[in-house]
Amino acid sequence: MLKPDSPRNSIYWSALLIILTLYIGACSNSKVNKIERGAGYKYIPGFPEIRMVPTGFIDEDENTKLNLAAEIVYGSLIYKRSETENVFQSNAMMDIQIINLDNPRRIQDSYQYPVIIKDRDPGISLSEDTYLFEEEIDLEPGNYKVNVVLTDLNSNKETSRTDEFYIPDPTGRISNITNIKILSKNPEQIGEFNPVTTYDIRDNADSIKFVFQVTNNNPDKPITLDTRLLKFRSDTTPARPMTFNDYSQSSLPYKGVDYDFPEVVSSVRRILTQPGSVLIELGFPGLARGNYRLEVSSNVKNSGGKELFRARDFSVKSENYPSLKTPREFAAPLVYLMDNDEYQSMMSLDDEDEIKEAVDRFWLNNVKNAILARQVIELYYERVEQANKQFSNFKEGWKTDMGMIYILFGDPFFEDKRLRFTHWSYSYDQSDPEFNYYFVRSKVNSKYYPFDNMILDRDNSYFNIEYRQKEYWRTGTILRVNL
């Protein structure tokens, strides 16, 4: 098997990277810098988990502001029981630092907000649901960076997030488009939209709304505004077995996302004659799973003399992503443990109760001990959810090659990250072919292709170890076996 660090393969990949770098440089397009994608999950076990998105906007009185929306995962915080109130309470502090990118040496403003969460249910310490923090801050027009640090005061551990945003000048003569904000509403929410803080949107959202503003202070020059919702062809399949052939470089699983020929889901043109700041809202009912982009462009030019343009990429994923709650969500990752016929039969069921019965039957028939099965189930789906957070890209993290290996084998003993490949070792002998796995980048991560699509270097020599590991899971032996 040709490994990524072999001399012949090194020459190949070095040449390929040079070609890709030249190609990317030749294809430089200022529009790419205006495409926003939201944040990732930045999951580190034991640390507070926060997701955030900043948006610049202009209010009805023409005041310029920052809207900062952040989600804090309940279960990522440490809770202490308050005997006086008979509740479980977490105490955290959010530090916000705003830097003016037009004068980056100067910190614009700093803020502190206490975050106190109380609940009578001790299960809150395991919940993957989120606490929504939203704050509006007065700021002058300009380009900014915001740094947010969330500190769990009960553990003294902290997590930081950084993002950039823009606030246009409502009195300026140059027309502008603000950042595009995404909001979603679930069926149980009555008229309530919540901000989307990540690239991912759950497909239980029965409505998605995009909000942005356009400024135009030239009454003699109306703005023609074109909005398009694009859907990109992308891979949604679970990782194939370790022993299968490698993906063809022309295949969709290898490419990940094909940005070249998108499907136009919706296209709207409107003419804005109203001077000043105009609020635009676009709503779309339940979009199918996939990777999308909302593009907003205009016939007028910005201060650099280029076409006015903004875009927001996003992905619609499973119903409770990155968590698992429905029978179908629990069933899908069993593709790595079931034989194909059994799996296809289960996934073809329409009734959720029947799917649940099939999942329960699989675990109990194999593990044969209800208490042991419960422990194995908890471990398996804990790894699935963690894979969703660690390896999420254009598809659910558990479907990626890294997600599959992580679910089956857990954290590697050793990890070596390079520009073109990542090496995971599950043995102290890093030359042992059975317990060392290589993942190769299908494309260089860049603003043109913002994903880490790491492809496992497959080989049929993995047959025994893959079969043995699946048996450990199916029999419950996984709880006492170390590689």
In a domain, 396, yes or no: yes
CB within 8 Å of 444: residues ≥ 6 apart: 17, 20, 21, 24, 419
In a domain, 28, yes or no: no
Instruction: Say which CATH number the domain at 84 has.
Output: 2.60.40.10
Domain with 386, as residue range(s), is 322-479
Q: Closest Cα partner for 198 from 377, 54, 52?
A: 52
Please list the ranges in the chain whose pLDDT falls under 50. Answer: 1-2, 4-8, 10-28
In a domain, 221, yes or no: yes
Measured over the CA atoms of residue 425, residue 430, residue 435 and residue 436, the dihedral's sign is positive
Q: Which of 289, 317, 345 is the last residue of a domain?
A: 317
Q: Outline where DSSP puts E strands in 302-442.
A: 307-317, 414-417, 421-425, 436-441
Verdict on whether the full-model pTM lies above 0.85: yes
pLDDT attached to residue 419: 85
Contact 129, 74 (CB under 8 A): yes
State how many domains the chain has: 3
In a domain, 4, yes or no: no
Return d(Cα 433, Cα 425) in angstroms, integer: 10
pLDDT attached to residue 7: 37
Return d(Cα 252, Cα 394) in angstroms, integer: 12
The first and second tokens of residue 198, run together, are 């990540």
The first and second tokens of residue 341, run together, are 């016929």
Return d(Cα 151, Cα 30) in angstroms, integer: 37
pLDDT digits over 49-100, tens only? 999 999 999 998 889 999 999 999 999 999 999 888 889 999 999 999 999 9
